[in-house]
Chains A and B, each alone.
Chain A
């Protein structure tokens, strides 16, 4: 008799643990693309005179969980200005108009494709600092390749996937596709407007889950 009761208890335990009603509901991974995120800047090198004035202007901030541009000073994950990309984590480099970091976002650049990067390598994540951004600036260093004169084209380097921890500790990955408005087939630096990001991203909305 005792044995039977034990069995029933065990059985009910097993049954209850298998029951869908009690399981934590996992949210679906968000897989989206965003077109023409405009990231203007002021200053830089004047193409006419060659004079350099310090770069300034608001960064365009993006929030993965809403999938939208935001002006919030705290609830943003990543922000863009010209070719510079910053995250909401770490320290400010101290450029003009650079927002202060309020969250715990971080980033690294993985080699691969959106399909092949399936696991976040936590060791590789780094944050912005007073000596440089986590995504290095300059062509060939970070997310893009600069093709010099005479074409002066900025192409997102294929095979570079930006893997993020969001400001509130979730994970996302991004592939930048184009730096020119409406992602033209063969961009022309002289006629196509630049500083318009088009990118694919996947957002893992579930706390603590590091794969996609």
Chain B
């Protein structure tokens, strides 16, 4: 099958070479007038003409934010929230979609290790990141699974000088030490090496005094990253190795203690061949492994032990044809294989693999319009095939105004947990089992007379869990009256179908439920995002952003309209039927979000940076038992968090002092990832 596709590809190559033999194309030699972005199309594109909603976070902004990890820098972006899950992982919420629906890439390669769906961003240090590209809306037409809410791609720095050295050290509250070293060198003009080392350690913090554990236990994190580039006229080779170790020790009391160790390793190579300026062929190979082990010991015996060991191998071949100076056609085929072994699983080692084929056409018409058509077919050994098309159009109405419009289908395949989980809660006795494991586990329990009541019929165990699918829509407007003002407005809507959730499938004789995963819900997220930047004076930059978000479960909307949902104001009052406008929406979503940033620089390399973010009220749980978040539930109060930093550059040194969460806002119960005011100082040495 793959041979056939390859043959087809080669045939196409020949066809287009003949067709467009006279035309020239070379993305790398194009005069780049403004910022370029690679993640949106897997080809180099000018951000200003891209028909998709995208944002770049520059190196300058990364440095200015003084973030130790990716969580902090992303949290400063409008419409992006960092949301902690119960396991303490901090994931990203974008366009109102959970962390599971956003793909996170480093140099185009996906990060893994979503133990409970959330991809923990605390583990990503940003000292070697040149820029962060954020594409909003579905990108499954290029990236396949998980790219429903969008793609965040971290581009690492490439050596630009014969020899460069950069080091920084930041000391902050809770005895947090963040030390980075960056070394870059160019050897023989063509070979570029970068080495990056980071060590981050902290005493952690405890927001709630009288519980057993600290909110964040003391940790040590080490990141090592080496990248190599080779360029000549025809060949480009890019290869990198990334390693990460995290160690956390904790103590529940004098007798019970434990540790949590994370190890991560990734390796990639990308070989690009460019022939006579018209054709480019790229072969990517990527392997990554993520391991987490947690042990809880009581003086002499192991009380609890858990492990999680996931590997991913991916390969992809892309051919990019320049049909003329601007129009490009991309073909790609790819394969990926994923393995997982973890505790509480029905099967100790599970795996899945998929092949995919994608095509994309980037066209420019008239003077002012360009478009993208793309589609991808994913064939999976566990699920039905998924076809994900995307179309986008941008047109410039006049010198100051342009509009963009895009539609895309996205999907997310069920994760291993939803298929193979076999977990029983030790305190209350309920169980959660994966869909593929349910039939056998239930029949075993029936043989042991452990099942009191089977709630679903046996036929419902047959068949497959379906991938979750989405339809995303974005309509954007850019207004740039002059070089000092830029305003981007984007309307978005994501409609998700076949959302996987758990439901009760049986009750055990202990009266507790057994849950399993099913394609149950339909949800939508929609809203408006505004991003604007103003150059107030030559030395004053001001940026303000706003997002309005409406995220709801379609079924809950219908049930309320049909008068099937009731609420109760307090446990002393009777219940009553709720109205449509009593429904607040999905958990952990704020309707309003405002960010503002102001930078004031003086001629003598002195800079003040002040930023604030506002998040309107949101609910974390249903308090009145009707399973939806309504206006009669309890909400987390709206809040504003402001950060201030002051820095001064003297020759090769930059000295910074600052405070995050300057006004010391905290809400220990609801915002465990907010430690309160942080004070820090930092020194950067660049040679």
Contact = CB atoms under 8 A, between A and B. Distances in A.
Interface in B624-655: 624-627, 634
B599 to A, nearest CB: 40
B598 to A, nearest CB: 39
A155 B426 contact: no
A182 to B, nearest CB: 9
Interface stretch (A22-30, A47-55, A66-74, A164-172): A47-55
B189 to A, nearest CB: 58
Contacts of A54: 509-510
A198 B510 contact: no
Contacts of B426: 45, 49-50
Given A159-B566, A198-B571, A138 B507 contact: yes
A137 B626 contact: no
Interface in B535-571: 564-568, 570-571
B453 A144 contact: no
A54 B504 CA distance: 21
9 contacts: A45-B427, A50-B426, A138-B511, A141-B513, A145-B627, A148-B425, A155-B622, A156-B568, A186-B634
Nearest to B514: A138
Nearest to B570: A185
Contacts of B634: 186
Contacts of B571: 156, 177-178, 180, 183-185, 187, 198
Contact of A137 (B507, B575, B624): B507
A147 B566 contact: no
Contact of A175 (B510, B567, B575): B575
B151 to A, nearest CB: 32
A150 B86 contact: yes
A212 B260 CA distance: 60
A141 B455 contact: yes
B429 A140 contact: no
A85 to B, nearest CB: 12
Interface in A178-212: 178, 180, 183-187, 198, 200
A204 B403 CA distance: 68
Contacts of B509: 54
Nearest to B575: A158
A150 B564 CA distance: 28
Nearest to B627: A145
B621 interface: yes
Contact of B510 (A52, A131, A132): A52
Interface string B566-590: 1110111111110000000000000
Given A149-B86, A185-B570, A45 B428 contact: yes
Given A159-B565, A159-B575, A132 B429 contact: no
Contacts of B429: 44-45, 50, 52
B626 A157 contact: yes
A114 interface: yes
A57 interface: no
B512 interface: yes
Contacts of B627: 140, 145, 157
Contacts of A156: 568, 571, 625
B623 interface: yes
B561 to A, nearest CB: 15
B566 A82 contact: no
Residue from B571, B573, B626 whose CB has the most chain A CB atoms within 10 Å = B571
B564 A111 contact: yes
Contacts of A144: 625
A45 B86 contact: no
Contacts of A131: 453
A40 interface: no
Interface bin, chain A: 35 or more
A60 interface: no
Residue from B427, B565, B624 whose CB has the most chain A CB atoms within 10 Å = B427
Contact of A145 (B452, B570, B626): B626
A187 B621 CA distance: 13
A113 B513 CA distance: 27
A146 to B, nearest CB: 8
B501 to A, nearest CB: 12
Interface string A115-140: 11000000000000001100011111
4 nearest interchain CB pairs?
A159-B566, A155-B625, A50-B426, A158-B575
Given A139-B513, A145-B626, 15 more contacts: A45-B429, A54-B510, A83-B511, A111-B566, A113-B577, A132-B452, A137-B511, A138-B511, A141-B455, A145-B625, A147-B621, A152-B428, A158-B575, A159-B564, A186-B634
Contacts of B625: 144-145, 147, 155-158
Interface in B587-631: 621-627
Contact of B626 (A112, A114, A158): A158
A148 B86 CA distance: 11
A113 B574 contact: yes
Contacts of A145: 622, 625-627
A13 interface: no
B575 A50 contact: no
A135 to B, nearest CB: 12
Contact of A177 (B568, B621, B622): B568
A131 B504 CA distance: 18
A84 interface: yes
Contact of B567 (A47, A158, A185): A158
A10 interface: no
Contacts of A185: 570-572
Contacts of A115: 574
A174 to B, nearest CB: 11
A98 to B, nearest CB: 13
Contacts of A114: 574
A136 B510 CA distance: 13
Contact of A138 (B424, B512, B567, B622): B512
A121 B415 CA distance: 44
Interface in B373-404: none
B570 to A, nearest CB: 6
Contact of B572 (A84, A137, A148, A183): A183
Contacts of B573: 177
B162 to A, nearest CB: 55
Contacts of B577: 113, 116, 159
A151 interface: yes
A178 to B, nearest CB: 4
Given A140-B504, A159-B577, A183-B572, A132 B453 contact: yes
A146 B564 CA distance: 19
Nearest to A55: B511
Contacts of B572: 177-178, 183, 185, 198
